[in-house]
Chains A and B, each alone.
Chain A
């Protein structure tokens, strides 16, 4: 758990710095961490808000980025089935990538379906991560006010994504998805309302599916996504 928090805290910090740099007020920056609590979607939203994208594109992009939570939700559902609704609602809110990865492996190790300790483990991991995210966002907001724009810190956003993207390109299909999406995004860059991003993401996913279909032998095990 500790290495995970050390890994998450700098992202919260960078998020806070970038959001302030994009002109988002301090209170709204913190509120996004409190309410949305989804690292990669928050990073992308900061980029979109900074470039003046309209609200519909922001919501659409959030939906696409966070679609992976459908997968998490589906895989946790059988384990959470015996719980009362209130527990389900709370645990669903805490379902970020890192917490999902920890708790699903905890559930799979536990012998019985109704393992109470596993639920508390999920809750504890989730709350700890949530608290770390809030604290590091607050520190980032404070630091963001001190860093001049000439440092080019906005580039850390692209570098963060490179760091997440490149190591995940382990098979032909995901390389095809990334390459197609990147090229389409550059070609469609001048489209209004940042529509190029949506178009690129959809074409990229389609390319990945098509390549996987032609080479089905080379399919790696499903992994939790690398987004923060």
Chain B
């Protein structure tokens, strides 16, 4: 991305984020959030996170691979198990990276 557009994107991201944070504080009492939107918002984080993670695991380097030879998939599955059991993000990162490095060393 050229430098100028990168800076414009950063400023745009900032403006959008700030606008969302300020919105209901400023318009309090004048705008009411629809109940359907309020419910749907709960599903945004799991949907977005999963939409980023799954292709990272299944299509590493641009090639689809559903096999044990796929080091990132193996590391990701182990990391998911650690995350489920411990609910600890840093342990998840540590175990996932360790397995990835071990597999890359072996193969």
Residues of A within 8 A of B (CB): 10, 24-25, 28, 31-32, 35-38, 40-41, 44-45, 47, 49, 52, 55, 58-59, 61-74, 76-78, 80-81, 88-89, 91-93, 95, 151-153, 155-169, 173-175, 177-186, 189, 196-197, 200-205, 207-209, 212, 222, 225-227
Partner of B22, one of A25, A49, A89, A226: A89
Report the minimal beta-carbon distance from B103 to chain A, rounded to whole angstroms: 10
Report the minimal beta-carbon distance from B99 to chain A, rounded to whole angstroms: 10
Dominant SS among interface residues on chain A: helix
Interface flag for B33 (CB, 8 Å):
yes
Partner of A159, one of B21, B42, B50, B76: B76
A52: nearest chain-B partner, CB-CB: B1
Q: Once the chains bind, are B48 and A64 in contact (CB under 8 Å)?
A: yes
Partner of B43, one of A52, A58, A80, A208: A208
Residues of B within 8 A of A (CB): 1, 3, 5-14, 16-18, 20-26, 28, 33, 36-59, 64, 72, 75-76, 79-80, 83-84, 87-90, 92-93, 96-97, 100-101, 104
Given contacts A92-B21, A167-B87, whether A64 and B44 have CB atoms under 8 Å apart is: yes
Partner of B92, one of A162, A222, A227: A162
Dominant SS among interface residues on chain B: helix
Q: Once the chains bind, are A59 and B24 in contact (CB under 8 Å)?
A: no
A-chain residues with CB within 8 Å of residue B48 when the two chains form the complex: 44, 61, 64-65, 181, 197, 201, 204
B-chain residues with CB within 8 Å of residue A165 when the two chains form the complex: 45-46, 49-50, 53, 83
B32: nearest chain-A partner, CB-CB: A74
B-chain residues with CB within 8 Å of residue A93 when the two chains form the complex: 18, 21
B57: nearest chain-A partner, CB-CB: A158
B31: nearest chain-A partner, CB-CB: A74
Report the minimal beta-carbon distance from B3 to chain A, rounded to whole angstroms: 7
